[in-house]
Structure 1
């Protein structure tokens, strides 16, 4: 299966017709496992199911047009990033709908908003904090993305980033401290 995915990645990079569809078909099972992992780590923050997340991610791959990746790991790291964006966009949409979308806003004197789950807000805050981290420390953001959103082990991250697993552990700890500080500031 790994050889098939590698072969399909080679076909995509060679811009062969139908190669993206073939890559998606070859990687479908693994993309579903990745999506299931992503959704499980998000808890109740998402109303998406595994199939919806995989298919929406695929549509985003296709819409972006150019899928250039040099390896299987790089492809799945990219897939993890796309899945994260799908989940964050879905959470933002739910927050917008909860706040009335385009409806006229009327303030009520109740505690309803405070009593509703703020999982979507937290998810969006984490996403925004990760974007800030990426501007300052791109490698740290990549480590977080691959570990937290991609479910990769330290050794796999080290291999993908061309570094050691010890460096990945240090980066993970540093990123956690920086993200914690950013999250304590609240929404950006």
Structure 2
């Protein structure tokens, strides 16, 4: 499957829309699993469903112009970023619909010592601050947390060693935990580098 996916990515890069559609069909199960993992972290009454998330991600992927696709892991990384953007856009719209802030979208995460729900918008704001301070660490979080990629797959996408991915992952998780804890307490910290 990996070889077929890579060939389809190259054909899509060359302009074949049929290759794009065949690639999505080939990797649909993987994309659906990625969306399901995302929703495993969301509140139970979320109005967006995994199938809708995959569909919207596909629409955004289809609109992309000639990306220099490298391989399946690169494709999954891009899909993960798009799903992140879709979930954050959905959370913002949901929050805007509530005059008093209402119920907020939450993510359940494996950040160290994290208990209970994590607000998706707070995570996005913290991740944006991390991107400004340490883009590589933020990319690791995006690929591992949103994309569900393994250490090895993340290393492949980022073209760095698995040991570097592990170091970035650990540092980013600690930094995000501190930043999110400061937000919850109203201190607003997390500005020093990871």
| Residue 72 of structure 2 corresponds to residue 80 of structure 1 | no
- Counterpart among 166, 170, 174 of residue 173 in structure 1: 170
Q: Which residue of 2 aligns with 1:107?
A: none
- Give the Cα–Cα distance (whole angstroms) in 1 for the partners of residues 45 and 150 of structure 2: 24
TM-score normalized with structure 1 length: 0.82
Equivalent pairs, count: 174
The CA RMSD over aligned residues, in Å, is: 2.3
Query: Alignment partner of 2:69: what SS?
Result: coil
| Residue 123 of structure 2 corresponds to residue 137 of structure 1 | no
What aligned pairs does 1:73-112 form with structure 2 within 5 A after superposition?
A: 73-99=73-99
The offset of 1:23, in angstroms, is 1.9
Contact kept in structure 1, 2:8 and 2:19, CA below 8 Å: yes
Rg (Cα) greater in structure: 1
Query: Alignment partner of 1:18: what SS?
Result: helix
Instruction: Note the residue ranges of structure 2 that are not aligned, 5 or more in a row.
Output: 107-117, 189-194
Question: Which has the larger displacement, 57-66 or 46-55?
Answer: 57-66
- Give the Cα–Cα distance (whole angstroms) in 1 for the partners of residues 166 and 55 of structure 2: 32
Structure with higher helix content: 1
Instruction: Note the residue ranges of structure 1 that are not aligned, 5 or more in a row.
Output: 100-112
- Give the Cα–Cα distance (whole angstroms) in 1 for the partners of residues 45 and 166 of structure 2: 27
- Give the Cα–Cα distance (whole angstroms) in 1 for the partners of residues 146 and 43 of structure 2: 13
What aligned pairs does 1:1-188 form with structure 2 within 5 A after superposition?
A: 1-44=1-44, 46-99=46-99, 117-120=103-106, 122-186=119-183
